[in-house]
Amino acid sequence: MPSWEEFRPFIVTGLALGGVYSLSGVGLVVLYRATGVLNLAFGAVGAMGALIAWELINNANWPDGLAYLVCVVFGGVVTLLYGLLFGPPLAGRDPLVKATATLGLALILLGAMSWIWSDKARSMILPTSNENFMVSDVLVNYTQVIGFAFGVVVTVVTAAFLRYTNLGTAMRALANDREITATLGVPVRRVEAAAWLGSGLLAGVAGLLLSNLVGLDANTLTFLVISSLAAALIARLQSLTVTLAAGIVVGLVNALITPILSISEYRDMTPFILAIIALLWLSRHREVRIGRAAG
Amino acid sequence: MVIVALLAFVLAALPSMLSTYWITVFTAVAIYAVVALGLNLLMGRVGLVSLGQIAVLALGAWVAAKLLFDTSLPFPVVILLSGLITMVLGTIVGLPALRLTGLYLALITLMMAGAITVVLAATDFPNGGPGFLAHSESSLGSGATIRRPAVAETDPAYFRYVVVTAALMFLVALWHVRSKAGRAWEAIRQSEPAALAAGVNITLYKLWAFALASFMTGVAGALLAGNVGQLFNYQFPTRDNIILLAVVLMGGIYSIWGALVAGLLFRYLPALLDTWGLPADLLTILFGVGVLQVLLTAPAGIVEQFPKDMARLGRLVARGAGRVVGGVRRA
């Protein structure tokens, strides 16, 4: 069994990654609550944004900050476009159909990324990754701090936004019942568009951070959404606070298993196992549902 | 029937018309048509979506490779055992998950696929090595290949073997659809509460569908192991789970022949594009568009849409020809 010293650096990486999982989880949950769509292309959008930023920095000599902005904006724009084009026609369908449709988007993006950039190994170092400081013998770089901090900040800000602003309240109303909300005079499509845009921006941010914390690879980044999904699922796609907690736990446990050599190879199963346990535990009393499946 | 004639042609004439490369491609088409058949039944008949069938395929292939290396059981027995073991595993997965609604069930299959992929990445595939995992790093270079059935060692012969097995699987599917299970599935797909009220044991029939799909995928895994000879993790990329879903949707989930179209889309089109010098990524994009198109407009997929489109084209041509003939006659 490894010693405390060997675990310490992994606490840092775990918290950082967990923060980004929470951030992505919040993006997924808010969109699901407002539109009923679980955006499985969340990771692919972030991955493509990161690759575009890489391209701009390395092949077009754009300044770093501008490229990062493009990444985030790309995430927002692509997701918004998808939501505007495919949101309304599918609005009345089962959540499963809506989620499957986002898989179509994921495939389009995956194919495009593979075609344009192929699968070469790349790296994109955020300037904050080069700055680091010591916390009792453990090296911490600022990207990791941002990862964790963003996770917490985004969750808190989003929760406050949903509770205290008009737009946020409208989103919560939409989550309850789209039809009734429409009859109350709420501009449903505009509120949904806002949810799509916000979720997309978060996807861009997550893509940028993950490209640093994990690596700039289209496939890896796309399917890392499954880990964020695990956090969102543990929260039953409802509570933002649970998403935050779940994301951090998933990230921490995943990282902390790394030095335990006997099971280290299997550590990437952590999000899946936790999500499966959570799903099965939470559905133990569930009966056959009548009508549209709620959150 | 058209299908019987097609099958006869494929078995008798096709292998002699094709080069080895294309024989391997069409063997793969038949194998993945069986995998697609499993998913087709799940989605079209029962309304369940599985996002992890390729992971199940990898599992089936692992079991088959292990049996083929470590035992001297005849190939048909290995196929059956792979199918049965995969079926048991699939049922164990399905059992607690069946109370979940559609979306959560699909997500659990995604999580399961992720877990299986991680385990297989760590254990790798059997290649004649020692121990339970039957994997040895050093024998990677020795080229130990998975054996084929004694009657079908050559590529054309193995192709026929695979096609016959695939045809058997389609027969099993046809029989199921027309049986009591098929009717129960249809009832469940249309309305679970109504089926429940009519006395249909929903859990049992959902489990049955899961078991059947897993069995077929396990069988396909065994056939795949024999086809490629050596198994590696890169042959089962995560994105294939989603691409399989896409082609099954595009092929059409309301007819089991959609699975045949799916198999062609999955393995024939990429090979075709390769010979034309086009990147396979174009297909990934096409499949993504296909998913959106199917879900938006043509839920029945190509199998139903194609005859309709051809009929429409035929009418257009007939009208045009009629106009030309009429014009000629008048002139």
Per-residue pLDDT reduced to its tens digit, A189-203: 899 999 999 999 999
Mean pLDDT computed over A239-267:
89
Residue A171: its pLDDT value, please?
87
| b/e per residue B149-186 (b: at least 16 CB within 10 A) | eeebeebeebbbbbbebbbebbebbeebbeeebbebbb
Q: Of B91, B27, B80, give the one whose Cα is nearest residue B56.
A: B91
pLDDT for the residue B330: 66
**Is B242 in contact with A106 (Cβ distance < 8 A)?**
yes
B149 lies in the same domain as B42: yes
| A141 phi/psi in degrees, rounded to 5 | -100, 160
The predicted model gives B137-152 an average pLDDT of: 68
Number of domains in chain B: 2
Amino acid (one-letter) located at A248: I
Residue type present at position A275: A
pLDDT, greater one: A6 or A271: A271
Give residue A46's pLDDT: 94
Q: How many domains does chain A have?
A: 1
CB A233 within 8 A of CB A275: yes
B266 exposure class (CB count in 10 Å sphere: 0-12, 13-18, 19+) = buried
Q: B101, A293: Cβ pair inside 8 Å?
A: yes
Q: What is the pLDDT of residue B51?
A: 92
Which chain A residue is nearest to residue B48, measuring alpha carbons? A96
**Neighbour-count burial for B241-258, b at 16+ CB within 10 Å, e otherwise:** bbbbbbbbbbbbbebbbb
Angstroms from B278 CA to nearest CA on chain A: 10
Contacts of B308-315 with CB under 8 Å at 24 or more apart are none
Range of the domain at A70: 4-128+143-281
Q: Nearest by CB to A107, which of B196, B202, B246?
A: B246
Could you tell me if A267 and A257 are in contact, meaning their C-beta atoms sit under 8 angstroms apart? yes
SS3 B299: coil
Element containing residue B271 per DSSP (H, E) = helix B269-275
At a CB cut-off of 8 Å and minimum separation 6, what does A116 contact? A51
- Tokens 């927002």 map to which residue? A76
Confidence of residue B136 (pLDDT cuts 50, 70, 90): low
Better-predicted residue by pLDDT, A56 or B188: A56
Q: What is the pLDDT of residue A129?
A: 76
- Do B162 and B305 share a structural domain? no
**pLDDT digit string (tens) for A65-111?**
899 999 999 999 999 999 999 998 888 788 899 999 999 999 999 99
B52 with B181, same domain: the answer is yes
pLDDT mean over B317-330? 72
pLDDT of residue A31: 94
Percent of chain B with pLDDT over 70: 91
Q: What confidence score (pLDDT) does residue B85 get?
A: 95
Q: pLDDT tens across B78-103, in order?
A: 999 999 999 998 888 777 777 777 88
- SS3 for chain A, per residue? CCCHHHHHHHHHHHHHHHHHHHHHHHHHHHHHHHHCCCCCCHHHHHHHHHHHHHHHHHHCCCCHHHHHHHHHHHHHHHHHHHHHHHHHHHCCCCHHHHHHHHHHHHHHHHHHHHHHHCCCCECCCCHHHHCEEEECCEEEEHHHHHHHHHHHHHHHHHHHHHHHCHHHHHHHHHHHCHHHHHHCCCCHHHHHHHHHHHHHHHHHHHHHHHHHHCCECHHHHHHCHHHHHHHHHHCCCCCHHHHHHHHHHHHHHHHHCCCCCCCHHHHHHHHHHHHHHHHHHHCCCCCCCCCCCCC
> What are A122's strand-pairing partners?
A216
Candidates B260, B70, B298; CA nearest to B163 is B260
Give the residue from chain B lying closest to A265, CA to CA. Answer: B122
- Are the C-beta atoms of residues A177 and A171 closer than 8 Å to each other? no
Residue A185 inside a domain? The answer is yes
Residue A41 lies in a domain: yes
pLDDT in tens, A204-235: 999 999 998 888 888 888 988 888 999 998 88
Q: Do A96 and B284 touch (CB under 8 A)?
A: no
Residues of the domain holding B325 = 301-331
The reply to whether B203 and B307 lie within a common domain is no
Instruction: For chain A, give the longest Cα–Cα distance.
Output: 61
The pLDDT of residue A289 is above 70: no
pLDDT in tens, B37-46: 999 999 888 8
Question: In terms of domains, do B291 and B220 share one?
Answer: yes
Claim to verify: residue B291 and residue B307 sit in the same structural domain: no
| A103 closest CB neighbour out of B114, B281, B291 | B291
In a domain, A67, yes or no: yes
Residue pLDDT, tens place only, B241-257: 999 999 999 998 888 88
Chain B residue whose CA is closest to A89: B296
Q: What are phi and psi of A174, to 5 degrees?
A: -55, -40
Percent of chain A with pLDDT over 90: 42
Measured CA distances, B114 to A225, A283, B51, B77 (Å): 11, 21, 10, 29
CB A43 within 8 A of CB A102: no
Residues B291, B312 within the same domain: no
What is the pTM for the complete model shown? 0.88
A193 inside domain: yes
pLDDT on residue A195 = 94
Most B CBs within 10 A among A40, A93, A96, hence the mutation to make, goes to: A96
- Average confidence (pLDDT) over B199-212: 86
Give the integer Cα–Cα distance in Å for A108 and B37. Answer: 24
CA dist., res. A104 & res. B291, Å (int): 5
Q: Is B48 exposed, middle or buried (0-12, 13-18, 19+ CB in 10 A)?
A: buried
Taking alpha carbons only, the member of B140, B124, B163 closest to residue B7 is: B163
For residue range B215-231, list pLDDT tens digits in order.
999 999 999 999 988 88
Q: Are residues B198 and B326 both part of a single domain?
A: no
Per-residue pLDDT, A4:
78
Number of Cβ within 10 Å of residue A275's Cβ equals 27
d(C-alpha B183, C-alpha B103), whole Å = 23
Question: What's the mean pLDDT in B166-192?
Answer: 87
Asked whether residue A214 is assigned to any structural domain, the reply reads yes
**Claim to verify: residue B188 and residue B306 sit in the same structural domain:** no
Q: Do A286 and B279 touch (CB under 8 A)?
A: no
Residues of B with CB below 8 A from A230's CB? 111
Nearest CA in chain A to B123: A265
CATH number, domain with residue A156:
1.10.3470
pLDDT at B308: 67
Alpha carbon distance A32, A39 (integer Å): 8
On whether both B322 and B208 belong to a single domain, the answer is no
Q: Is residue A73 part of a domain?
A: yes
Q: Tell me the per-residue pLDDT of B273-290, one tens digit each, with 9 for 90 and over.
A: 988 988 889 999 999 999
Residues B272 and B314 in one domain: no
The pLDDT of residue A291: 36
Say whether B246 and A271 touch across the interface (CB within 8 A): no
